[in-house]
Structure formats: structure tokens, C-alpha cells
Chain A
Amino acid sequence: MRIELVKRPERSKLFAALSPLIALGLTLIAGAIMFSLLGKDPVEALYYYFIDPLREVWSLHELAVKAAPLILIAVGLSICYLSNNWNIGAEGQFVIGAITGSILPVMFPDFQSWIVLPLMLLMGIAGGAAYGAIPAYLKVRFNTNEILTSLMLVYVAQLFLDWMVRGPWRNPAGMNFPETRTFSPSAVLPEIWSASGRANWGFVFAIVAAIALWFMLSRTLKGFEVLVLGQSPRAGRFAGFSQSKMVFFAFLVSGGLAGLAGISEVSGAIGQLRPTISPGYGFAAIIVAFLGRLNPLGIIAAGLVLALSYLGGEAAQISIGVSDKVVRAFQGMLLFFVLACDTLILYRIRFVGASAAKTVEATQNV
């Protein structure tokens, strides 16, 4: 017997709705098997993974803290990917946004006013967008491959940050450790509801950005332009849309949002610049973008799910003593099943019997 994938004539609405549930079911089964093999109670393990982080208010705040940069970056990337621009460098745009946004609190710590924070956010957006414009310009002008240029610029950004916090921006009172001075209170992004946890306004930005881009994609001409140029550049040209302008538009939007995520993270969650400010948000956001099927509203859900899997992984490590590696393997299984089950939307599975298989092979051999 053999299994074949047969392309459906059109997207299956049924499986578009069912596939996440099937994926969750498969993850639970595979996870339960893995935890049992490790000698842990599978029900308890899955409880700590998926339920425990949602039981307490402070933990929900942490979920928002972890999800905010993922969502913010991923919605920007969705514009890129839908328009066929492969921006892999969101991590670098995140870092540069964090640096340009930090100019005021680091270089002018005595300048304290209500205007500081809005300026920081704007400078963060501008920095991220400008950094995103580099691969866009190279693509339009020299026809370079943006996957490579944007990825390489990530390392440039990370090393630049490293140099800044060790050299020019090092905290004069920090015993020569590589970090900047801590931001003054007027440069700290406020918490939404500080009595119960530390979620900051970054999460609000993420939701607002997702809704705004969803509206643009589904209700405006610009959104139509993004989709047309992504699916058929030639048709787009006939419609009078400019391919080059779209490259810049996509990179500026995603770079700007990554920059906003960067300064929000530094100003809201960390409070200073350090040699590393991101555990790879810019790369994880690529997964989030596809997990959310490049739909900004889907990305909100995907960002929360991925954030939950980080938090749940910690809870499982602490409570039942599984190792960090097991936690990551489980997270990998979750992502694998979700993306694999999405195949069912465009394809259906056909089981080919032994005799039928032979006939097919025979015809293929001829």
C-alpha cells in the first residue's frame, strides 16, 4: 500500500478550519508517547505545558510580553512574504531599531520629558525601516538576492550592537561590563496594568499593527496590490503596479515594525541595551508568520501559541524535571504537525492499494 497526495481543485474550507485541531490532537498523542517513554506522567506533563501557564494572571502577562515582539515582527513579514519579498533579516532590523530608539536615553539621560518615549518609538521605527531599506535598494538596483543580503545584515547589526555596548555606549558606572546605563523612568515603556504583572504597551502595539495590516490587506487597493504582485508580477505590471515600489514598501513596513518591536522590548522589558537583546525573535517570527498563514489576525493567534509553548516548556522543566532538550523537541513536534496538517488544505490523501500501485508504476515506467 502506498500513500499519495492529490491536489485539490480548490482550497478546502473544511480542512482550513480542522487542520489546527488535527495538529493539536497529533501533538498531544506524540507528546504523550514521548513523555511516557521518559517515565513521566503524560497527563501531568501536558497539563503543565498547555494549562498551567494560563492559570495565573501574572503568567498571562508574561505570555503577552513574550508574544508581543513575535506578533509585531511577523505581521510585518507577512506583507513581505505575500508580495514575494523574502526578508529573513527581521532580527537585524529589530536590533537596529533598538539601537536608534535608545539614542535619547543613552546619550541624553538628563533629557526627561513626556516627549522622550514617543520620540524613541519613532526613532526605533525609522531605524528599523532604514535598515530594511538596504536589502530593498540592493534588490531593486542590482537585482541581488534579498534572502542573502537581509540575512547577512543580521550579523552586521548584532556585531554593531555588541561594539556599541562595549565601547561608546558602555555604562560609565557599570564596572566595565558590556551594557548601557539603565533607562530613566521617562524612557521606559509603561506597563498596561502594573498591579498584576509586567506586560507593557508593546503588546497593544502588536495587536493594533495586526488589525491595521489586516484591514489594509483585505479592504484597500494597496492590499490588493500586495497580493497581485506577489502572485503574478506580470499581471501586476499590466495593472500599472510598480514592482520596485512594492519591494521598498514591503521592506519599509516590515523593517519599521521590527524596529518598533526592538525598541519596545528594550524600553519595556529589559530597560537597557545589552550585547544580546533578543533570543532570536526575528527568526522565530518567520515561523509565526507562516503558522498564522500570513494572515495578520491568524498571526496574533500563532504568536500566542508559540509564546505559550515557551512558557509551558519552562513550567514543565521546573515541575516535572524534564530537560531543556525534551522541551524543545516537543515544541518542534507542535510546529511540525501544525505546518504538516496545513498540507491537507490544498491536498487530499489517497491510499493506493498494492495492485493499483503496480499499475501506476507500470504506466510510469512506460
Chain B
Amino acid sequence: MKKTILSFAAAAAVMSFGTMAAEAATKACFIYVGPIGDFGWSYQHHQGLEHMKKELGDKVETAYLESVPEGADAERAIERFARSGCNIIFTTSFGYMDPTNKVAGKFPDVKFEHATGYKREHPNVATYNSKFHEGRYIQGVIAAKMSKAGVAGYIASFPIPEVVMGINAFVLGAQSVNPDFKVKVVWANTWFDPGKEADAAKALIDQGVDIITQHTDSTAPMQVATERGIKAFGQASDMIKFGPTTQLTSIVDDWGPYYVERVKAVVDGTWKQQDVWGGMKEGHVVMAPFANMPDDVKKLAEETAAKIKSGEFNPFTGPIAKQDGSEWLKAGEVAENGVLLGLNFYVKGVDDKLPQ
């Protein structure tokens, strides 16, 4: 008798969990590599989630996991999502590439969207990324106009193509204004570590740079620049709150429109595998308001932004020389996407040796 009651209770419990899942709308799930409070990369993906939730309302249900380490933990986290009834899973860091594809093979009915990777081993895996380097070029233009020292500091994370692309675009933008402009690079070897990033900023300022840009995600460099009274660029999100008199502009990753589009495609049943590399034109990369600069610099920055946005100008248009002086692109030649996505050399004017 006791046993029957117990098993009945268990069955009821299972049923109640079961119906909870069955009634759900389309479920979109997100995995972040950092904390959503980093005010950089993961924060912006989470802003994208919030935007998508607002747009699609009760048609979707969402869930997220933050600070998921790349490695063996990622595969478990993704599989847990796939099993918990997610219809589409966004894995938002490069290191999730292989785990994403592995889990995708096991769950053919779930859609997977991997940010910044290149592997699509199953028809249910799509990849997406943004042309952040377009914003870097504009930053370079502003830096060369604003800097008195003629040299900027660059806090970089890891020497992967995306970061190298950013450094090169920044230098090219600066050289379009001042051909002798130099960039000093410090590799922080982290995406998010406020202490290390602050140290890097201090070291650069001590070496005489008077403008800082960063390809790491915390607001620490912005805060150091404010303390030392120099100018800086924000990263991934609008960091103006952390440097009201410091931030010139910031490259804002706006994932919202993409997330709306892709989740809606799942709701409508029109989702297809794709590889998207959107930039300013598609609205995936947005510049924060140009601030703390004279009107003529602002005007030049706006003109440059408009040219890139309309597609009239590509930052990687020749003539461009490699760091050693040899020719990379002839006059008028535009770099192919394939080369950019595997970029492992600097252009002329970078004061650093690329870690190989």
C-alpha cells in the first residue's frame, strides 16, 4: 500500500514536470563565457537576449548559463540545455566550437548557433560573427587626430585572427590621418581580468601613450585612463558611465537584431544553417556617441562611419604593406574574407612582434 502511494506521488511529480515542459513556447538558451556583469562581451550577449525577449514576448522562453569554462564543462552545459527542452542554443565563445558541434550531432532537432567559430559539421549548426574591425578603423582615425604623442596603446587579449584584424584596422585608420602613427601592444592573455587589464593600461601610459584602446572586456582600462587623465575607447558595450570625460567612442556589439531574427525563424519553422559575418551595415556593430572631442574630429569620424556603413569603403583596401614592408594588397585591392578570418601578420606601423 505504502509503495503504491509512493509510486503514485512520484508519477505525479514526473507528470507535473513533464507538462511544464510541454506547455512551453519556443525556448532559447544562451551560454556565456564570462559573467553577465562584465560590461563587455557577455554583458552585450545578455543585452541581446533581453532585447529578443522584449521583441518576441511570450512566444519565447529563455534561459542562460554564465561563466561556463571552455573545455570539458562546456560540453556538459550545452548537453544539459539540449536535454532541458531548448529549441535553439546560442554558444557565445570561440572555445565552445567543438563541444557545440559534438552535442549538435546528438540532438538533430535542436538548433545551435555558435559565435565566432568556423565549424558547421551538422545541418543544425549555424555560425555568426561581427566585423568589429570596422569600428576599430574609425577608432584609429580618431586616435591619430586626438593624440599629441603620435602613439596609442592597445590592450589585446589573445593573438587570434579577430584580434589581429582589430589591431591592423586601428593602425590603418590612424595612418590615414598620420602616416607615422605608431601603436604599442600589450597582450593581457585574458578576455576578462580587471587587475591584469589595469596593469596593462598603466604600463602603456608609463611608456608614453596618450590614448588607449582595448580588446578585453572589463572597464578597468577605461577607469585607469580616467585616473591618469588620458582618452580611451570602450569595448563591446558603451562604457561612458565609467569614463564620462574619457571615452571617445566605443564599439558596441549589438546582437539583439540577430537574436530576434534567428529565434523568430525557429518559431516560424524557417530556420536554416548559415554563416553570418555582419558589420555596421547590418547593424551588428554600432558606434557609441562620439564624445570628448573637437567638432572637426567628430565630423571626420562621422564621415568615416557613414562610408563604412554604406559599404562604400572597406578598411582593408590597398595599398597596404605588411609589417616587414613587403606588399600585402595592391592599390585598390580589397582583402578576401578568407584571408582576414585566418589573419596572422601585422601591417606596417605596429610596434610589436606578433606572438607566434
Q: What residues of chain A have their CB less than 8 Å away from a CB belonging to chain B? A: 56, 58-59, 62, 65-66, 162, 166-167, 175-178, 182, 198, 265, 269-272, 274-279, 310-311, 314-315, 317-319, 321, 323-325
The stretch of B79-87, B171-179, B235-243 in contact with A is: B79-87
**CA separation between A279 and B73, bound complex, in Å?**
8
- For B70, give its contact among A274, A319, A323 (CB under 8 Å): A274
Once the chains bind, are A278 and B71 in contact (CB under 8 Å)? Answer: yes
Which residues of the other chain, A, contact B80 by a CB distance below 8 angstroms? 59, 314-315, 318
Once the chains bind, are B72 and A275 in contact (CB under 8 Å)? Answer: no
Q: Interface size of B by Cβ–Cβ distance < 8 Å? A: 36
Identify 14 residue pairs between A and B in the complex whose beta-carbon atoms are under 8 Å apart, listed by A's number.
A58-B79, A62-B76, A66-B72, A167-B355, A175-B161, A176-B161, A177-B94, A182-B98, A265-B72, A274-B71, A274-B95, A314-B80, A318-B29, A323-B36
Once the chains bind, are B84 and A176 in contact (CB under 8 Å)? Answer: no
Once the chains bind, are B344 and A276 in contact (CB under 8 Å)? Answer: no
Q: What residues of chain B have their CB less than 8 Å away from a CB belonging to chain A? A: 29, 35-36, 63-67, 69-73, 75-77, 79-81, 83-84, 94-95, 98, 118, 158-161, 189, 341-344, 355-356
**CA separation between A315 and B343, bound complex, in Å?**
39
Which residues of the other chain, B, contact A274 by a CB distance below 8 angstroms? 70-71, 95
**CA separation between A271 and B64, bound complex, in Å?**
26
* Chain A-chain B contacts (Cβ-Cβ < 8 Å), number: 81
Which residues of the other chain, A, contact B70 by a CB distance below 8 angstroms? 274, 276
Once the chains bind, are A271 and B81 in contact (CB under 8 Å)? Answer: no
Once the chains bind, are B343 and A276 in contact (CB under 8 Å)? Answer: no
Q: Evaluate whether A176 and B71 lie within 8 angstroms (CB atoms) in the complex, with A272-B98, A315-B80, A318-B81 already known.
A: no
Once the chains bind, are B356 and A318 in contact (CB under 8 Å)? Answer: no
**CA separation between A351 and B137, bound complex, in Å?**
70
**CA separation between A176 and B158, bound complex, in Å?**
11
Question: Knowing that A178-B160, A270-B72 are A-B contacts, what are 19 other residue pairs whose CB atoms are under 8 Å apart, sorted by A's residue number?
Answer: A59-B80, A62-B76, A66-B76, A162-B189, A166-B159, A167-B355, A176-B344, A178-B158, A269-B75, A271-B98, A272-B98, A278-B71, A279-B69, A314-B80, A317-B64, A317-B65, A318-B84, A321-B63, A323-B36
Q: Whole-angstrom distance from the CB of B134 to the nearest CB of chain A?
A: 20
**CA separation between A58 and B103, bound complex, in Å?**
13
Q: Evaluate whether A65 and B72 lie within 8 angstroms (CB atoms) in the complex, with A177-B160, A315-B80, A324-B35 already known.
A: yes
Q: Whole-angstrom distance from the CB of B62 to the nearest CB of chain A?
A: 9
Which residues of the other chain, A, contact B158 by a CB distance below 8 angstroms? 166, 178, 275
In the complex formed, the residue of A with least CB distance to B345 is: A176
Once the chains bind, are A277 and B355 in contact (CB under 8 Å)? Answer: no
Once the chains bind, are A314 and B77 in contact (CB under 8 Å)? Answer: yes
Once the chains bind, are A318 and B65 in contact (CB under 8 Å)? Answer: yes
Once the chains bind, are A167 and B356 in contact (CB under 8 Å)? Answer: yes
Which residues of the other chain, B, contact A270 by a CB distance below 8 angstroms? 71-72
Q: Whole-angstrom distance from the CB of A16 to the nearest CB of chain B?
A: 33
**CA separation between A276 and B33, bound complex, in Å?**
13
Which residues of the other chain, A, contact B75 by a CB distance below 8 angstroms? 198, 269
Q: Whole-angstrom distance from the CB of A43 to the nearest CB of chain B?
A: 12
**CA separation between A59 and B160, bound complex, in Å?**
34
**CA separation between A235 and B79, bound complex, in Å?**
54
Which residues of the other chain, A, contact B29 by a CB distance below 8 angstroms? 318
**CA separation between A135 and B249, bound complex, in Å?**
49
Q: Whole-angstrom distance from the CB of A44 to the nearest CB of chain B?
A: 11
Which residues of the other chain, B, contact A178 by a CB distance below 8 angstroms? 158-160
